[in-house]
Chain A
Amino acid sequence: EAGVVQSPRYKIIEKKQPVAFWCNPISGHNTLYWYLQNLGQGPELLIRYENEEAVDDSQLPKDRFSAERLKGVDSTLKIQPAELGDSAVYLCASSLGPDRGFNEQFFGPGTRLTVL
């Protein structure tokens, strides 16, 4: 069974440029998460989707960050415009839906973003 797929793995951009990250969760996982991981820190939740609905986006900086999961499967996280402080690893994770109880999350390899 394929795991969570993310692309690109690495991205280097100039500040003020836009950037997008893509995630394909494990088949059958209705819940999808985007996390931000700064160097030396644990992951911090940005947004959680249940199917196509964003049910928790309280930590998403909405002035420059946006996300979508149009068909309830894969998802895109966008930053526009990027700032120097956005340099970090962006992790995607998925899990079975809440109707299946609380289940462990499975993480993708992440996208390492460097903003110059």
Chain B
Amino acid sequence: GQQLNQSPQSMFIQEGEDVSMNCTSSSIFNTWLWYKQDPGEGPVLLIALYKAGELTSNGRLTAQFGITRKDSFLNISASIPSDVGIYFCAGSLNDYKLSFGAGTTVTVRA
């Protein structure tokens, strides 16, 4: 199956800092997605990307779909305490399956 490599695995950041994480894949995807998971909850969709090269924003979040269709990054600007959580990238070729990265755990120092 498709392998997604997500980095960094974890990060500690100061409130107000910008955050960046990325995902690479061994194979191409037609869709890249970024989810956030809070403890004891299911993943919540943050941003969906459908075209190679696409750059999309959602508030303080910005994500890009790499030109090669094998990578994506997520930026969080001016982090706040509620940004704490685990961020997962996910990729899909079709309607039937998402492959997830291993996650980036973000902890914000107040």
Instruction: State yes or no: do A and B come from one complex.
Output: no
Residues on B lying within 8 angstroms of A by beta carbon are: none
Residues on A lying within 8 angstroms of B by beta carbon are: none
